Amino acid sequence: MKVLVVGSGGREHALAWKLAQSPLAQKVFIAPGNAGTEEEGQNVPIPATDIARLVQFARQEKIDLTVVGPEQPLALGIVDAFQAQGLTIFGPTQAAAELESSKVFCKELLRSAAVPTPEFHIFHEAEAAIRFLESREDMPVVVKADGLAAGKGVIVCSNRQEALEAVRRIGIEKQFGEAGNRLVIEERLDGEEVSVMAITDGRTILTLPPSQDHKRAYEGDQGPNTGGMGAYCPTPVVDEQTLHWIEERILVPTVHALKHKGRPFRGVLYAGLMITRQGPKVLEFNVRFGDPECQPTLFRMKGDLLPILWEAARGRLQRVDPPDWEPGAAICVVMASEGYPGPYEKGKVIRGLEQAQELENVKVFHAGTARQNDQIVTAGGRVLGVTARGPTISAAKYEAYRAVKLIRWEGAWCRKDISDRALKYI
Ligand code: AMP
Ligand code: GLY
């Protein structure tokens, strides 16, 4: 089979790496890919959002299966465009992808399906949101822009003053553009955040082991939000019984509700959950693998991913057996450019990649990298996802940081405490 992976980050490198190992994979293409994906297959210089050219490429190369990494092409309707040409593609249609691309759609669906989620109110204009905040008691809330805003359209507020300011930024100044045309104001929850991903064809659900991302830039969950500074899998925050509950009370009703609304879902359903004292509640749904959660998750997966995605894309997921997992845990430490998540420079030469890759049970997934002649240079904010496996979380952590120490470029940094949130549960 010929496979095309769409995207260019660490998640796509992990997908290409795993799919390339399949005995069924004759060739893997990655569009546009990075310096790491080149090791797993062939990069194709087409941006992930250039759907017309991707369709053309897939037809020309007779691609059997396309796997979409990021949310933007899904929200733009890449799956609809491929299916219209009779091409098999793993991911949700544009209508089903609204679960991620519209927070208003997501919250209304969750309410209709009685899926636990924070209390919320929807506003079509900023003035109404301001009146609402001024009329009720001062309490911590979260203000969210309806549309996709690269993870930045969510403002967590401690009091009314901050919430009013957030409404102004999103709804009046339109800092996130049209994404702010509608607003959600919801109750702010406390608890531990986890990610639960499931592969589904709209009928059968294959729940993956739970994982935990680290979204803040600095140790101890301080500093600005990022695209994710590291993740580990499985997380002991969610035990087997809770995972079962999440499947029954959150994932299954969401898949059913989407089907009922005429938007059947195929692809990865990713629940961003807060584990509260009243149980797990949905903060958001994503419609793709999490980045960086995908990296440690796939690094632990035994067996062949290709038939799973292939059958899911064709609505026959019940035909495949659930995969086995390496015992123990895996962790992924993101190494970033100086200045990230703010402005940063690119083009720094990365050294030590081979030495790090020589370590057993380590895989360095590339995110923002590029090849320049014989050298690999930085080309993004999140540069590498250094991923390691071990019999325990702390063993995996030790291995990952041993590999991190071997890699260097000017200004490289990472969080030193990835996976430490697990410590109080084990
Ligand atoms: P979202 O894109 O909706 O997941 O929001 C991004 C981040 O904001 C989440 O990962 C949480 O850390 C935080 N967040 C979102 N909603 C809430 C909430 N209701 N209570 C507390 N934190 C939240
Ligand atoms: N790790 C968060 C995300 O993929 O959205």
**Domain identity same for 311 and 371:** no
Rounded to 5 degrees, what are φ and ψ at 134?
-75, -25
Give me the domain span that covers residue 161.
125-181
**CATH number of the CATH domain containing 198:** 3.30.470.20
**Domain identity same for 263 and 202:** yes
Distances (CA, A) of 39 to 7, 17, 42, 165, 422: 15, 8, 8, 47, 33
pLDDT for res 334: 98
**Domain identity same for 48 and 132:** no
Say if CB 360 and CB 403 are below 8 A apart. Answer: no
pLDDT (tens digit, 9 = 90+) per residue, 73-120?
Answer: 999 999 999 999 999 999 999 999 999 999 999 999 999 999 999 999
Q: Is residue 289 part of a domain?
A: yes
pLDDT for res 227: 87
Q: Is residue 210 part of a domain?
A: yes
Number of domains in the chain: 4
**Domain identity same for 304 and 396:** no
Regarding the beta carbon of 393 and ligand 1, being less than 6 Å apart is answered no
Q: Is residue 150 part of a domain?
A: yes
**CATH number of the CATH domain containing 73:** 3.40.50.20
Residue minimizing CA distance to atom 3 of ligand 2: 290
Residue 151 CA, closest ligand 2 atom number: 5
For residue 294, pLDDT beyond 80:
yes
Q: Is residue 119 part of a domain?
A: no
Nearest residue to 205 via CA among 249, 148, 161, 240: 249
**Domain identity same for 84 and 131:** no
pLDDT (tens digit, 9 = 90+) per residue, 229-272?
Answer: 999 999 999 999 999 999 999 999 999 999 999 999 999 999 99
pLDDT for res 149: 86
Residue minimizing CA distance to atom 5 of ligand 2: 290
* Ligand 2 centroid – CA 137 distance (Å): 32
Domain limit, last residue, from 266, 299, 319: 319
pLDDT for res 109: 98
Mean pLDDT of 1-23: 98
* Ligand 2 centroid – CA 208 distance (Å): 15
What's the mean pLDDT when you consider all of the chain?
96
Q: Is residue 100 part of a domain?
A: no
**Domain identity same for 314 and 372:** no
Starting from the CA of residue 141, give the closest ligand: 1
Q: Is residue 12 part of a domain?
A: yes
Residue 190 CA, closest ligand 1 atom number: 21
Mean pLDDT of 12-36: 98
**Domain identity same for 175 and 195:** no
Starting from the CA of residue 385, give the closest ligand: 2
Q: Which two tokens stand for residue 360?
A: 């057993």
pLDDT for res 151: 72
pLDDT for res 53: 98
pLDDT for res 150: 77
Q: pLDDT over 90 for what percent of the chain? A: 94
Residue 289 CA, closest ligand 2 atom number: 4
How many helices and strands in the chain, by DSSP H and E?
14, 22
**Domain identity same for 240 and 315:** yes
Q: Is residue 300 part of a domain?
A: yes
Mean pLDDT of 264-283: 97
**Domain identity same for 27 and 63:** yes
Mean pLDDT of 126-152: 90
**Domain identity same for 293 and 220:** yes
Residue minimizing CA distance to atom 2 of ligand 2: 290
Domain limit, last residue, from 290, 319, 348: 319
* Ligand 1 centroid – CA 43 distance (Å): 35
Q: How many other C-beta atoms lie within 10 A of the C-beta of residue 253?
A: 18
**Domain identity same for 421 and 393:** yes
Q: Which of 101, 103, 106, 195 to mutate to test the pocket of ligand 2 (most atoms within 8 A of CB)?
A: 195
59 falls in which pLDDT band (50, 70, 90)?
A: very high
180 falls in which pLDDT band (50, 70, 90)?
A: confident
pLDDT (tens digit, 9 = 90+) per residue, 358-400?
Answer: 999 999 999 999 999 999 999 999 999 999 999 999 999 999 9
* Ligand 2 centroid – CA 382 distance (Å): 13
Q: Is residue 117 part of a domain?
A: no
**CATH number of the CATH domain containing 171:** 3.30.1490
**Domain identity same for 285 and 393:** no
